[in-house]
Amino acid sequence: METSTLKSKRLEGKTAVITGATTGIGFATAQLFLSHGAKVIITGQSQDRLDSALEKLRSEHSGDVVHGFLADVRSIEKLKALAEFTGKLFNGHLDILFANAGVGGQGTSIDEIGEEEFDFTVGVNFKGAFFTVQKLAPLLSSGSTIIFDLSSVHSKPLPIFAVYAASKAAGRSLLRSLAVHYAPRGIRVNAVSPGPVPTELGRYSKFEPAQLEVMIKGFGETLPMKRTGRPEEIAQAVLFLASDESSYLTGSDLAADGGYAV
């Protein structure tokens, strides 16, 4: 039994940073990574949510295996500080970087979207992802992996979420360039693109929670699988990309979307 348990730990001895991991997909991924033997740093931009997430994760996993760092990924200075913190904690080496921090679209039409909403969405989803990688990449070495959290909407028209979809499409283009850039260093770069997954991202939407829930459920019923996804299901896809089982994948975008991209 003990040998079987050890073999099932696909990230034994690995170190990971997961941005935006206080709720939703990021939090579910942190739980899964920890259960597979990784040491994890999670980030968030709310101290209360960060403390709550850490309390829960530490109640599930004993030992000095999970740490938190308060950071808004739009701030390059915060990302520099995150890189410094990570380097000291993990002795200068990082195995897995999951650039997960993101915000959903607010459902504003193309004719009405303003500069503030535009800058916020692009700032978190694209600028934040780019500089997260740039600042933490010096800690990566051969065998390390970078994973983006994108969205299947990046390849389909979605007028009321046009800027959100475009920010994710920019991320899709970026990962191709990064895959080529980091390949000589033995670093893989991939992405997971979820379909509709109810998470707390909805707090950034202009829709009321009940209204948003109905919209997402209706969206899910249009998919081939006839349902929305769960954060835990997306986390399993991220685990695959983080593990050695995906050792020949780079530049890939894994659609975990219930068939939305079909």
**Active site residue ranges:** 164
Query: What is the rounded distance in angstroms from the CA atom of residue 84 to the CA atom of residue 213?
Result: 39
Residue closest to 68 by CA, chosen among 20, 103, 25, 100: 20
150-172: buried (b, 16+ CB within 10 Å) or exposed (e) per residue?
A: bbbbbbeeeeebbbbbbbbbbbb
From residue 68, alpha-carbon distances to 35, 144, 245 in Å are 17, 21, 28
Burial class from Cβ neighbours inside 10 Å (0-12, 13-18, 19+) for residue 107 reads: middle
From residue 161, alpha-carbon distances to 89, 114, 167, 168, 205 in Å are 39, 13, 10, 11, 10
Sign of CA dihedral 27, 30, 84, 126: negative
Query: What is the rounded distance in angstroms from the CA atom of residue 31 to the CA atom of residue 57?
Result: 7
Helix (H) or strand (E) holding 103: none
**In one letter, which amino acid is 10?**
R
Query: What is the rounded distance in angstroms from the CA atom of residue 261 to the CA atom of residue 164?
Result: 16
